[in-house]
Amino acid sequence: MRRRSAGVFILVERSNPGAILGYYTLSQASIAQGDIPAAARKHVPRYPLVAATLIGQLAVSEGRQGERLGAVLIADALRRAWLTAATAGSSMLVVDAINDRAAAFYEGNGFVRLLDSRRLVLPMHVIQRLVEP
């Protein structure tokens, strides 16, 4: 991105790199301490705003949905978020689901929905267990 407001990560086929299968973006964000679920709150700093990494967009090509490519993109986002958390400061991965179907997808991948919203979070201590051997 020209203004470096987010990192863009694109999934393509090796045999046809011009065909985009899916993509996602990552950027820095913050979330209010009071919005964090109680189970995750004990693992984050006690500041009014908690540093987080935001999946700004995640999409899979319409013709390739149902092939678990979204899970591949999520796995890559988790790995990248974990690797940058120590240098950029991030206590969790946050996503704002576009609809209830998307929210269910993220919940199926371990994210926890905030009350009365489509915002979901996954704490870094959970991500650490998923990405480190």
Q: What is the pLDDT of residues 37-92, one digit of tens each?
A: 776 777 777 777 888 999 988 999 999 988 999 999 999 999 999 998 988 889 99
76 φ, ψ to 5°? -65, -40
50 membership: H or E segment, kind and range: strand 49-60
- The answer on pLDDT for 124 being more than 60 is yes
**What pLDDT score was predicted for residue 1?**
47
The pTM score is 0.85
pLDDT tens string 92-117: 999 999 999 999 999 999 999 888 88
pLDDT tens string 1-49: 456 677 899 999 989 988 999 999 999 998 888 787 776 777 777 777 8
| β-strands 49-60, 92-96 pairing | parallel
Find the Cα–Cα–Cα–Cα dihedral 108, 65, 53, 56, rounded to 10°.
-130
Q: Tell me the sheet residues that pair with 123.
A: 92
- Structural domains of the chain, with CATH: 7-120 (3.40.630.30)
Q: Measuring CA to CA, which residue among 110, 92, 93 is closest to residue 43? A: 92
